[in-house]
Amino acid sequence: MGALRNLTVTQQIGLLFVIIFGVLTLATIASFLRSLGQLTSEQASLHERLKRDLRAVWIGTVLFWVSWVLGAFVATLLFAVVSFLAFREFITLTHTRRGDHRALLAAFFLVLPIQYSLAGGRAFDLFSVFIPVYAFAALPILAALGNDPTRFLERTSKIQWGTMVCVYGMSHAPALLLLDFKGYEKRGAFLVLYLVLVVACAQIAQEIASRRLRRRPVARHISRSFSWRAWGIGVLTGALVGGLLYWVTPFKAPQAVLIGAIAAGCGTLGELVMKALKRDAGVRRWGNRASVTGAVGLLDRVAPLCFAAPVFFHSVRWYFGA
């Protein structure tokens, strides 16, 4: 694998895309062949979920490819749009009131664009504190000026939480693109790919493991499938994938394994948190048909990334002092 590291950037990209699109094509063909055979209803539902995950990986990979081809500016814009759509879905599911109107406008049309401009302008110091410090203070002020005390704390905390997850969390993906290490310039896109792949693989592995193992669920009121062992398998898979990809990162192999495990652990636990949120909102699945409001199901796709990206970003930055 050390030889792979010494290839030029273009060669590495070519190799990566051949590998990734090859594996994805194989997986899609396998899943299609499987759908031709007879399936029990349980197998069919598992198959349906795997198909959804597979589609998410396809979309993620194509997004990555587009952002690689078109450069950092377009990539930042692309992530900003995804972030906007996810936040829109989040706000749809929470009960805001008239008095929140101004706070919501500020969150959508000021906080979100500013956060992504900070990422695009590489102002990482302000980028890290803008939402947790400044937006944290500003949003409840606007809500209070809305002159409505009914369930005030509940409403403002929901808006703040949504901003943190959908805007702050998500904005760390393009920030990774723009992060410059010594001797690793212009390769930030690989870090995003590394993160997305590790988290997606961990998620799929956990899904399969939880079906096979049938362990006692840890939190049965939130998720009937989440068990520590399945989670552990997900993390191990993430670590393995991270290790295999070490040659595209600035890390040494053991570091790549460790960081892969951290990202995978955060991502899969983030998914659990989103499940709790779904239960709270009374939605069982955020598919297109689940509710009359028709939330499009983007949020549970990006949630693992939203949770993993900030942890990943800050641990990398702290460790390398970039």
Partner 1 sequence: MTRVEFVGLFLSTLARLITGAQGHWYGCPPKAEQRIYFANHQSHFDWVLIWASLPRELRAQTRPIAARDYWTNGRFKHWLTREVFNAVYVSRVRTDDEDPLEPLAEALRNGDSLVIFPEGTRGNKGDPQAFKAGLFHLAEQFPEVQLIPTWIDNVQRVMPKGEVVPVPILCSVTFGAPIQVEAGEDKRAFLGRARDAVIALQTVDA
Footprint of partner 1 on this chain (CB under 8 A)? Answer: 84, 87-89, 91-92, 96, 98, 101, 104-105, 108-109, 289-290, 292-296
Two tokens, residue 166: 């959908």
Rounded Cα distance between 81 and 85, Å, is 6
Minimum CB distance to partner 1 smaller for 98 or for 221:
98
Please answer whether residues 264 and 198 qualify as being in contact, where contact means their C-beta atoms are separated by less than 8 angstroms: yes
CB 189, min distance to partner 1, A: 27
Listed residue (241, 198, 191, 233) closest to 213, CA to CA: 233
In sequence order, which residues have a C-beta less than 8 Å from that of residue 233 and are 6 or more positions away?
A: 205, 206, 209
CB 105, min distance to partner 1, A: 6
**Biggest CA-to-CA distance, the chain:** 64
Minimum CB distance to partner 1 smaller for 291 or for 315:
291
Listed residue (167, 180, 174, 204) closest to 192, CA to CA: 174
Minimum CB distance to partner 1 smaller for 90 or for 247:
90
CB 293, min distance to partner 1, A: 6
Minimum CB distance to partner 1 smaller for 104 or for 191:
104
Minimum CB distance to partner 1 smaller for 14 or for 294:
294
Number of CB atoms found within 10 A of residue 271's CB: 24
CB 87, min distance to partner 1, A: 8
